[in-house]
Chains A and B, each alone.
Chain A
Amino acid sequence: MNPLLKTNFEACTKCAICTEYCPVSEAWPPFLGPKQSGPDGERQRLKDASFYDEVLKYCTNCKRCEVACPSSVRVGDVIALAREKYARGSFSPRNAILSHTDFVGSLATMAAPLVNFGANLKIVKFFLEKVLKIPAWRTFPSYSQGTFRNWFFDKGPSQKAFARRLSFFHGCFINYNNPSLGRDAVRLINALGLGVDLLESERCCGVPLVSSGFFKDAAANAAVNDQSIQKALLGAERVVVASSTCCMTLRDEYPDVLKLNNENWRKKVDLLPRYIYRLLEEGLSLKFKPTPMTVAYHTACHMEKLGWSAYSIELLKLIPELKIVLLPSSCCGVAGTYGFKLENSQISQKIGAPLFAEIAKSGADLVVTECETCKLQIEMSASVPCENPLTVLARALDDGSGGDASP
């Protein structure tokens, strides 16, 4: 079936409400906006491919247009499909480096201290900006010494004793940059009395590849993950994901943009906070110690699209003495690798400005969000630490072990 037909694009009434909620066209009006880039433009492109406008690459794929649309048009998908079909950009080494997270991550974690040191040298940053067009003022994600997978198999707690099992899709950021979040996830799952498996073979979900136009590479990753997920579900009751973007990609972008039929497992891939909520409803329990601090919950764009913020928020409410401020849902601007491209970087900061102001106003000690690149952006731009709700929950766990309370 032509994937365009699933986007419901003929239901567009041209009301332009999507453009009203598009963070890119607000920050940078020359972007055509979702209506014109999406369903309106598609009507023209169907007649003549020369109507394709390269400005579509400024779309961040945040999906806020789809959330706003009163007619349920999948505006973002129309744009992504058009980019795949019509874009004729030349090969960019910068985009290749930014989007091939597995390749770069595997190399970088092998020499993490050197890479982290090097990447923050002025001369290196100068080179990155001049040659690769990666803005020098950005804080780069630091790489961890050794991957999460290595920790899990070499040093992680034994998972043998558990009868019920979850398969954990850790994603690139946990594997190469933030293994401690992976450890938090394992700790929470074990505290519920379930064991953790990893996928036999896990590739990047593909979202950075889609954003940079590497659709074939993304589809190849999807095919590997498809096989691994099917295999994992033979032994595990769910595949659980910590990152909202990876989760949305596996469930929705695979069928809608990458044309992979995932019907037989789509509903068995879940965001971990949602699955924990389900386990608690089933009667399992977690015990939390009082944590007197204020956290501000930020709804990442893809979390808004999934519609599952409530599960994370309800879990956080179980922590005694934790005060939760809900930030008005708005885009932080980084949109994965988008803000790491020099040509987007000013737009990116302009998009995020209202959110940074809300964070400052909230007086929170910590921002909480399920998205790893929101974390990078918020920590850099709002100067407040930012963690996944799983980390907040794991730190507050009262499991008798004393826990790892230090940030």
Chain B
Amino acid sequence: MRFDVVVIGGGLAGYAAAIRLLEAGKSCALLSMGQSALHFSSGSLDFLNYLPDGRPVADFREGLAELAELSPGHPYALIGIEESARLALEAEEAFRRWETPLSGSLAQGSHFRLSPIGKLLPTWLSSRDALVAEKGPDGGPHWPYRSVSLVNVEGFVDFYPEIIASKLAAYGLKVQERSFTTPDLEIARGNPSEFRSVNIARVLDQKDNFNLLKDFLRALAPSSDLLLMPACVALNDGELLPKLSANLGKPVKLVPTLAPSLLGARLNRRLARVFLSKGGVLMPKDEALGFSFAEKGSGPARISALFTQNHEDMPLAATHYVLATGGFFSQGLKAEPTRIREAVFDLDLAENPGERAQWTRESVFQRQPYLSFGVKTDSNLDGYWRGAPIANLKVAGTLLGGFDPVRLGCGGGVALVSAFRAARAILSGEGAA
């Protein structure tokens, strides 16, 4: 089967690149090995929170400039800091075009989001349903609320209302805790190990249950400036809570929970839907198993076909390939006994990982070297194979080497910036030729 582009990987970077290419009129297939790491994410996307030396980034543009000096192998630095900032704006614009509204922007600087245990973390883009705070003049959170009703679902254990309440109180908010249930939720709770955020949402999103929730919140609305819940409602519909807020006259906001995380899952579902609506061909639960190079001409190597689990001897052929398979967690990288291997093409790595003993550090809170392992590229994001670039393979997302998305707080930003960079390189014919 032939396409203009085959994207390998159905996470943030893969979908973003694929949708951008579809918009430009390219035919595009996307291979996904299963649901992506977005299901484990808060749904907020970080651009750059810390520098490699640990200092927090106060201003994105200044931060980028310092990053390029301290860490020239970081994807932002490779792509170029001006270009990275421009691509980030392109991503913001794209989400608006894709009717997937997110709050925050590079121009406004970072805002705060709340972690599942109530810690305030800086971030770039958040779901409109997430509780966020703008950065006040003192660098701390600026809340437009004073009194908060924190409503947990009875028996939901992936959320810690006491901790959240005490944290919010420490930020000067007045918090009253409530808990909510419905007869249907009581039935679902009979299966406690599956009483998780997205499964609760599937019950709460049903009309009768949602109306019960609405009535419950309505009773709290007069005494609250904010109605706050764990993210276990509105799984498919990003308009549900804005409408409810308008109806109640008070904002209803969510705090992300432990995985599976609804706001991340919802972003994934939304991207998949946009991809399909623009004519993308989804290859669900398929895995790239092998590939072939085009016959050797004078220029750099080109991939001519990709062999997959489901398609067996009928390869997927494309003019361009985008590899966005993620890091170790998503199995884009594999740790073998004595080496790290990129899973599909065995691409060259950005840095030599050294001996196995050096891949990890003993304490989980120390810098973990393996988190910055990834593949080598140039500024066009061409992948390298045995020392030379492949002309028609771009790499995007966490699979890229040279950065630690956890420590720097930049995973979402790198995914989007590199996805748009890869798409642009394909559309403008840039790359090894």
Contacts and interface: CB of A to CB of B under 8 A. Distances in A.
B154 interface: no
A16 B276 contact: no
A336 to B, nearest CB: 20
A170 interface: no
B40 interface: yes
A35 to B, nearest CB: 7
A248 B1 CA distance: 21
Contacts of B285: 66-69, 304-305, 307
Contact of B33 (A19, A30, A72): A72
B331 to A, nearest CB: 8
Chain A facing B: main interface SS: helix
B273 interface: yes
A29 B188 contact: yes
B215 interface: no
A36 B193 contact: yes
Nearest to A299: B284
A58 B232 CA distance: 25
A173 interface: no
Contacts of B310: 306-308
Given A15-B40, A17-B260, A33 B35 contact: no
Interface in B314-359: 314, 330-331
Interface stretch (A20-28, A233-241, A340-348, A374-382): A20-28
Chain B facing A: main interface SS: loop
A236 to B, nearest CB: 18
Interface string A33-47: 101100010000000
Given A32-B194, A308-B310, A20 B260 contact: yes
A314 interface: yes
A278 interface: yes
A69 B34 contact: yes
B198 A20 contact: yes
B34 A68 contact: yes
A15 B258 CA distance: 10
Interface residues of A, number: 40
A25 B259 contact: no
B213 interface: no
Contacts of B283: 307, 310
A274 B313 CA distance: 12
Given A20-B265, A329-B284, A30 B187 contact: yes
Given A17-B35, A29-B203, A36-B193, A313 B284 contact: no
A310 B281 contact: yes
A67 B193 contact: no
A328 interface: yes
B39 A32 contact: no
A314 B312 CA distance: 18
B29 interface: yes
Interface string A315-331: 00000000000101100
Nearest to A329: B284
Contact of A25 (B33, B199, B313): B199
A70 B268 CA distance: 13
Max count, chain B CB within 10 A of own CB: residue among A17, A32, A311: A17
B284 A304 contact: yes
A261 B164 CA distance: 55
A67 B199 CA distance: 18
B119 interface: no
A267 interface: yes
Interface of A: 15-17, 19-21, 25-26, 29-33, 35-36, 40, 66-72, 267, 274, 277-278, 281, 304-308, 310-311, 313-314, 326, 328-329
Interface of B: 1, 29, 33-37, 39-40, 184, 187-188, 190-191, 193-194, 196, 198-199, 202-203, 259-260, 265, 273, 276, 281, 283-287, 309-314, 330-331
Q: Which 8 A-B pairs have the closest CB atoms?
A: A307-B310, A29-B188, A70-B34, A67-B285, A20-B198, A33-B194, A26-B202, A17-B35
Given A16-B259, A31-B191, A328-B273, 9 more contacts: A20-B202, A30-B187, A67-B284, A68-B34, A68-B35, A69-B285, A274-B314, A307-B284, A310-B29
18 contacts: A16-B194, A17-B260, A19-B196, A20-B35, A20-B260, A25-B202, A26-B202, A29-B184, A29-B187, A30-B191, A33-B191, A68-B35, A69-B35, A70-B331, A71-B34, A72-B287, A277-B314, A308-B311
